[in-house]
Structure 1
Amino acid sequence: MVGLLNTSSIMMCPHAGTVSVTSSNTKTKAGGNYVIRSSDTFTIAGCAFTISSSPHPCVQVRWVQPALKSKVVGDFVLNANSVGLCVAGDQAVQGTVLINSTQSQVSGL
């Protein structure tokens, strides 16, 4: 089993943009902060990606592989093995989200 992601987990796009999460979960915590789910809102700020010298930053994360069995408030949670796609404003996929840290007190599949 691997650690669940929570609102203090550190995530980035492949171009060093910072991922922020707005979670609607107000019931379940892990490691002192609320567990995040694939249905939460994930925005990216500070992405430096360009195409032909024109800015084309990642702006959000779309999760394609949440945890396979663990749910919170009726939706699948995210863990260290989850896969999220970083997408631009035009919905172009620009790489996978990098999960740099998570809490280690609670794990799940």
Structure 2
Amino acid sequence: MPGPLLHVGAVATCSHAMGQMMIISSNARVLVSGMPVATVADQGMFAGCAFAPGGKPQPCVRTQWMASAARVLINGMPALTAPGPHLCLSADQIPAGPPVIASCQTRVIGQ
């Protein structure tokens, strides 16, 4: 999916706008804006989501990457683009909607 490449320093929240997303990347070679570019092999973790429908806590804890750049590979893995059709998941793997990417670099576009 074409769009700006997602990177470690991107600012994003869960779909409830409570939890902050941190991308944990294994890529240290390819940088944009001085930060490693995210790939499908990387983890998107959330901290601070307190979503509790009906009293049972179901906070977002991780991101499921649903699509990536088709033509951009980093260390053999497809790069992630923003906004992509990604999904926030609780610890029980219950989907909670897409993460909201507030800002990321805009100079490098992947397709």
Q: So what's the TM-score if we normalise by structure 2?
A: 0.91
Match of 2:102 in 1: 100
Identity of aligned residues (%): 33
Can you list the C-alpha shifts for 1:14-49, whole angstroms capped at 9, x where unaligned? 112111111000110112211011210111111121
What do you get for the CA RMSD once the two structures are aligned? 1.2
Match of 1:79 in 2: 81
Name the CA distance, whole Å, in 1 between partners of 2:51 and 2:68. 26
Match of 2:12 in 1: 11
Match of 2:53 in 1: 51
Shift of 1:56: 0.9
Contact 2:88 / 2:95 at 8 angstroms: preserved in 1?
A: yes
Name the CA distance, whole Å, in 1 between partners of 2:35 and 2:45. 19
Shift of 1:59: 0.5
Moved over 4 A (4+): none
Q: Amino acid of the residue matched to residue 19 of structure 1?
A: M
Structure 2: segments with no counterpart, 5+ residues: none
Q: SS of the counterpart of 2:96?
A: strand
Count residues with an aligned counterpart: 109
Name the CA distance, whole Å, in 2 between partners of 1:55 and 1:92. 12
Contact 1:67 / 1:81 at 8 angstroms: preserved in 2?
A: no
Structure 1: segments with no counterpart, 5+ residues: none
